[in-house]
Each structure stands twice: as C-alpha cells, then as structure tokens.
Amino acid sequence: MKPAMETAAEETTEQSQERKVNSSRQEMEIGRYHWMYGSSRPQQVPTMSGSMSPLGTGGCFECCIKCLGGVPYASLVATILCFSGVALFCGCGHVALTGTLNILEQHFSSNASDHALLTEVIQLMQYVIYGIASFFFLYGIILLAEGFYTTSAVKEMHSEFKTTACGRCISGMFVFLTYILGVAWLGVFGFSAVPVFMFYNIRSSCDVLKALPVNYTTAAEQICVDIRQYGIIPWNALPGKACGSALENICETQQFYMSYHLFIVACAGAGATVIALLIYMMATTYNYAVLKFKSREDCCTKF
C-alpha cells in the first residue's frame, strides 16, 4: 500500500488537471460565443456545465420576444389601414367614375359636346388615381421602414447604433410631409362625399316615386332630378333632367346601383386613409421628438 502522503499528492494533481481542463473548456465556449455574435463588449456568460448551450434553453424564445418588442405597432397598423383605404378609394372610385359618365351620357346629356369637359376631367382623375395608388404604396413602405429604424430593435441588433443629425432631419421631413398629406386627404375625403350626396338625392327621389299610388301619374311627373344644378354639365345641356318614370328607370338600372355603392366605399376608403395619416403623424412626431431630445443618451423609440 502507498503511503497516505503519496495518495493525497496524486489526488491533488488529478484535481488540478481537471480544473485546467474545465477552465480551458469554458474559455473555448466564451470565445465561440463572442465569435457567433461579433460583439466587442465584454458580456457576462453563465457558467457552462456539461454540454449545455451558451445561449441557454430559452434563447430562441427570448430572441422572439425581443423582436416582437421592437416592432413599431402603430406604424404597422397605420400602414395596413393606409393600404386598405387607398386601395378602396382608387379601385372603387375609378369604376364609379366610369359608371357615372355612362349614366350622364345615356340619360342627362345627349350631345357629346355638352359633357366633353366632364369626360376629360374624369379621365384625368382616373390617371391621378393611378399615381395616388403608386405613391402611397411606396410612401407607406418608407414610413414603416422609418418606424423600424427608430425602434429599440435597431439598438439591440447593432450595439454601436447612434442617431445622427441626418437621421433626425429625415424624421422631421416625414413629420412635415405627413402633415401636408393629411390636410390634403381631408380635402379628398370631403370631395368624395359630393357624388355620394348627389346619388343619395337621386335615390331619395326614386323612393318618393315608388311610394306614390299608381293613379298619381301627374304628381309623379312633377318629381324631377336636374343634374345641371350640381355644375357637372352646362345649363344648356339637354335633357339635363329626368322626371317621373324616366327617373325611376334610372334608379332601377344596375349601373346606378353599383356606382352609388362604389362611391360610398370610395368615401369610406378616403376616411380610412385620413385616419392612417393621423396615426402616422402621431408616430413620426413622437419618434422625431425622442430622437432629437434623447440622441445623446443613445435612446430609441418603441412607438
């Protein structure tokens, strides 16, 4: 049997070698962790035991929570609302304008020269609708990207992120441009209510005609709708108005029914776009204020 002192010395040597192996393994794990995440800052890494991953068991879940926490939900909701509103306004408005022109040509203006100006205006408005749809598609994406840029997700992904004067200037430009577009769309919303009002009056006159008894033919012929009073065709246009049974036949056509409801949907789409721009304006104003007054603190927003 070996002496007790020799046995104790051998155990001490084995323990020392085991500690060196464990220390070397931990240094390798820490080096791999820094290599994977490319961070130059010293980070606190939990002590590894066995084959446990340096990210821990909840690494994927924590990463998802951080990503969801950095999403600009206000800008995202505004983008969806803006796309939906512009799509409804442009699509329904385009078809409704075409239907309105056909109704005028068939029932209110038999001479093409009387509504030639109106035809040109409607065609111009349809081309403007194409431009509006394209512009707001790009503008919505840019504002959503700007919202992501000013969230804390950027700071967490890039540890050296700092706001610059150029970035704050761009945010301020978006605030001003969104305010101008919001005021312009208020005017568009009010303008889109005009054809709804006109079609509603025609529909109301038709309802009055249907409510009259059958033997009230003379009274029915006295109920008329004069389109010339709305200013869309000149006063010398013929016939310019529809009365009695002619007016009732207009309301029963599929084209009138479709155009009326399409104008309602287009007006609702314009209203949704106004709400979306209002949300955009609130979000961009908040982001600009935080970037301006807290830029020295390397602070970002989560709005």
H or E segment to which residue 224 belongs: strand 224-226
Max mean pLDDT range (82-86, 235-239, 246-250): 82-86
Please tell me what DSSP assigns to residue 41. Answer: S
pLDDT value at position 188? 92
Looking at the predicted structure, is the pLDDT value of residue 92 above 90?
yes
Beta bridge partners of 241: 226
**In sequence order, which residues have a C-beta less than 8 Å from that of residue 175 and are 6 or more positions away?**
281, 284, 285, 288
Q: Which alpha helices (DSSP H) does 150-164 contain, by range?
A: 152-157
pLDDT at 292 over 90: no
Q: Which residue has the higher pLDDT, 298 or 199?
A: 199
ω before 239 within 30° of 0 (cis)? yes
Query: Which of 66, 89, 74, 87 is closest to 144 using CA atoms?
Result: 74
**What are the structure tokens assigned to 101, written together?**
């022109």
Q: What is the pLDDT of residue 51?
A: 41
- Give pLDDT, residue 301: 45
Q: Is the pLDDT of residue 237 over 50?
A: yes
DSSP per-residue string spanning 125-181: HHHHHHHHHHHHHHHHHHHHHHHHHTBHHHHHH-TT----HHHHHHHHHHHHHHHHH
Compute the distance between CA of residue 227 and CA of residue 242 in angstroms, rounded to an integer.
9
Instruction: Give which of 228, 209, 229 is closest to 219, Cα–Cα.
Output: 209
Using DSSP's 3-state secondary structure scheme, residue 298 falls into coil
Instruction: Between 230 and 151, name the one with better pLDDT.
Output: 230
Tell me: pLDDT of 88 over 90.
Answer: yes
